[in-house]
């Protein structure tokens, strides 16, 4: 029997979920296929992916333990893994002592879970006589050579393949590329330890961004209490805080109110009505919907959250599905508008901050160890090698930052990555209007010119243009669809 070669390109959470669910499926169904699996991953921090390679205890998962699993059919897989490994982890992660399925745990634990699960399934694959090759290289092209599909890596090695799964994940957005040449500018915020080791004591550190990534980074930086950290972004908008609260039945933000012909304006109008109903005032709507924020906005929201009077909490879970469902109903021009104009604003309500992180941030804001500057327009390099920023109103000359770190998030334009740029240039894969990949319901990539090779993709290369909340679960579900269709 000829062997089928299956190539997984990218071993973050998506690649790991696919691999584990595939081997689990073969094992359960007693299918001892003649299979070779080539896994391509350039990162030394193998199979953790960008989101979970953080080495900080303060970077928390933004989903609860029971909404974090590599297996679509086993939501408590992570929870059970934690219970099984509690003894060996508890010294380093005392938070495990009181863990429940609804805890928000350090993201690093999810990284350890991914690594360990992968190892376990490599063992099972061996028992099934499936060959697994880990190739520690970046894939830079895929070619069609005499009707054979060939994967090419950055050292020009070539691998023939029958099926491909693209799980290449996030691409950092770096609007400050021209500063990448300077040693005191960091293009990406991870891994934090690499950055922290390079930063000298008593420095002023500018973090470009004010969302979850920027917040995680600021909390890690402040383990060195000689540093002063400034968060700066255009809006100064920080994520809303997620805390336990009672159930709430919405009056306006009902899924049935998202009709076939929903527009972004109508969606925003429904959200506003719900806020007005909850707060009995439209002043609060203006506050929650405004485009420029300051430190007090966050401190007030935190005080209301711990005081139990933050009405927003009642909407937190409804918000997620409401926005996801709206997205599904929008046509292309509206989606484009959503991504370009509303995405950043609305993610404040969907990518929210666990209460524990909010507590630390509020302490640092009060003690002025973290300062928030909104109205960011541009970054500037000074003659003395420091950085300054230009805001809407004026040039801030009085603060000279010793370091600047880009934490502005992620791009959904795949073509900024060499693999996709090459595939696009040669017209080998078709890209959609957002420069992401088009897939069908089975996650198979639509429209490609690479011989008979079947290509699947899921994770951020696809949902970079969507609104999704429990990412890992979403990924696990898509991985399951690929497994069902690839075998
Ligand atoms: C800061 C941050 C925090 C998050 N927190 C959560 C959370 O708490 N809960 C949650 O559910 N989701 C969270 N997410 C969402 C997260 O995107 C998903 O949960 C998931 O981790 C994405 O996994 P991935 O494998 O698709 O991507 P990634 O983790 O980005 O992994 C992709 C891998 O592919 C490799 N790769 C890329 N290009 C190539 C190539 N050409 N050749 C070979 N290898 C390649 C990369 O090196 C990388 O290791 C977070 C995301 C971020 C950015």
Distance CA 123, CA 128 (A): 9
Q: In this model, does residue 409 exceed pLDDT 80?
A: no
Per-residue model confidence as pLDDT tens digits over 447-459: 888 888 999 999 9
Q: Given strand 370-374, what is the order of strands in its sheet?
A: 185-186, 403-406, 204-208, 228-233, 370-374
What is the Å distance from ligand 1's center to 169 Cα?
A: 5
Range name among 111-125, 134-148, 323-337, 395-409 with the lowest pLDDT average: 323-337
Q: What is the pLDDT of residue 397?
A: 65
Q: Is it true that the peptide bond before 429 is cis, omega within 30 degrees of 0?
A: no
Range name among 13-17, 57-61, 143-147, 298-302 with the lowest pLDDT average: 57-61
Q: In this model, does residue 286 exceed pLDDT 90?
A: no
Q: Quick check: CB of 165 below 6 Å from ligand 1?
A: no
Q: In this model, does residue 427 exceed pLDDT 80?
A: yes
Please indicate whether residue 69 or residue 339 has the higher confidence score (pLDDT). 69
What is the Å distance from ligand 1's center to 39 Cα?
A: 15
Q: Quick check: CB of 168 below 6 Å from ligand 1?
A: yes
Give the ligand 1 atom nearest the CA of 190: 1
What is the Å distance from ligand 1's center to 468 Cα?
A: 14
298 neighbors 238 (Cβ within 8 angstroms): yes
Which residue from 64, 170, 190 has its CB within 8 A of the most atoms of ligand 1, so it is best to mutate?
Answer: 170
225 neighbors 369 (Cβ within 8 angstroms): yes
Mean pLDDT of 241-252: 88
Q: What is the pLDDT of residue 280?
A: 87
Burial of 89 (0-12, 13-18, 19+ CB in 10 A): middle
Mean pLDDT of 351-371: 93
Residue nearest to atom 15 of ligand 1 (CA): 471
Q: What is the pLDDT of residue 47?
A: 66
Per-residue model confidence as pLDDT tens digits over 61-81: 878 899 999 999 999 999 999
Give the ligand 1 atom nearest the CA of 40: 43
What is the Å distance from ligand 1's center to 451 Cα?
A: 29
Residue with tokens 């070779």: 36
Please indicate whether residue 258 or residue 402 has the higher confidence score (pLDDT). 402
Q: In this model, does residue 33 exceed pLDDT 80?
A: no
Q: What region does 18 belong to: left with phi over 0, alpha with psi -120 to 50, or beta?
A: alpha
What is the Å distance from ligand 1's center to 51 Cα?
A: 5
Q: In this model, does residue 474 exceed pLDDT 80?
A: yes
Q: In this model, does residue 467 exceed pLDDT 90?
A: no
What is the Å distance from ligand 1's center to 312 Cα?
A: 29
What is the Å distance from ligand 1's center to 52 Cα?
A: 8
289 neighbors 237 (Cβ within 8 angstroms): no
Domains and CATH numbers, the chain: 4-172+411-486 (3.50.50.60), 177-239+355-408 (3.50.50.60), 241-351 (no CATH)
Q: Quick check: CB of 60 below 6 Å from ligand 1?
A: no
Per-residue model confidence as pLDDT tens digits over 161-214: 999 999 999 887 788 999 999 999 999 887 788 899 999 999 999 999 998 889
């Amino acid at each position: 029997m000829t062997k089928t070669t299956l190539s997984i390109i990218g071993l973050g959470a998506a690649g790991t979920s696919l691999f584990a669910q595939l081997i689990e499926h073969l094992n359960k169904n007693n299918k001892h296929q003649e299979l070779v699996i080539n896994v391509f991953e350039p990162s030394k921090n193998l199979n953790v992916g960008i989101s979970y390679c953080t080495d900080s205890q303060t970077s928390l998962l933004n989903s609860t333990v029971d909404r974090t699993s590599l297996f679509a059919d086993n939501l408590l897989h992570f929870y059970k893994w934690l219970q099984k490994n509690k003894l060996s982890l508890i010294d380093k992660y005392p938070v495990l002592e009181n863990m429940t399925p609804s805890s928000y745990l350090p993201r690093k634990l999810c990284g350890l879970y991914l690594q360990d699960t992968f190892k376990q399934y490599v063992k099972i694959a061996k028992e099934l006589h499936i060959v697994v090759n880990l190739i520690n290289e970046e894939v830079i092209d895929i070619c069609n050579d005499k009707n054979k599909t060939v994967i090419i890596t950055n050292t020009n090695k070539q691998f023939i393949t029958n099926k491909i799964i693209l799980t290449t994940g996030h691409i950092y957005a770096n609007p400050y590329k021209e500063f990448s040449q300077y040693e005191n500018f960091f293009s990406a915020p991870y891994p934090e330890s690499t950055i922290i080791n390079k930063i000298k004591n008593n420095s002023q550190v500018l973090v470009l961004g004010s969302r979850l990534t920027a917040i995680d980074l600021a909390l890690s930086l402040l383990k060195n209490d000689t540093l002063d950290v400034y968060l700066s972004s255009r809006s100064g908008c920080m994520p809303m805080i997620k805390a336990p609260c009672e159930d709430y039945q919405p009056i306006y933000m009902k899924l049935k109110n998202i009709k076939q012909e929903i527009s972004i304006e109508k969606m925003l109008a429904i959200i506003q009505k719900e806020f007005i109903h909850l707060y009995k005032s439209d002043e609060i709507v203006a506050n929650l919907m405004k485009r420029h924020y300051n430190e007090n906005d966050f401190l007030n929201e935190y005080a209301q959250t711990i005081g139990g009077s933050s009405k927003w909490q009642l909407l937190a879970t409804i918000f997620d599905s409401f926005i996801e469902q709206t997205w599904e109903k929008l046509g292309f021009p509206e989606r484009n508008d959503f991504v370009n104009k509303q995405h950043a604003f609305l993610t404040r309500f969907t990518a929210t901050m666990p209460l524990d992180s909010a507590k630390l941030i509020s302490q640092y804001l009060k003690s002025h160890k973290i300062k928030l500057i909104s109205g960011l327009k541009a970054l500037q390099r000074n003659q003395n090698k420091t950085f300054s920023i230009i805001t809407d109103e004026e040039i801030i000359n009085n603060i000279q930052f010793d370091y600047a770190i880009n934490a502005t998030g992620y791009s959904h334009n795949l073509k900024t990555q060499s693999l996709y740029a090459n595939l696009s240039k040669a017209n080998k894969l078709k890209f959609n209007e957002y420069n992401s990949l088009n897939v069908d319901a089975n996650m198979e990539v639509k429209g490609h010119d690479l011989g008979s090779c079947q290509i699947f993709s899921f994770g951020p290369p696809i949902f970079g243009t969507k609104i999704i909340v429990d990412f890992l679960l979403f990924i696990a579900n898509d991985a399951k669809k690929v497994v069902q269709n690839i075998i």
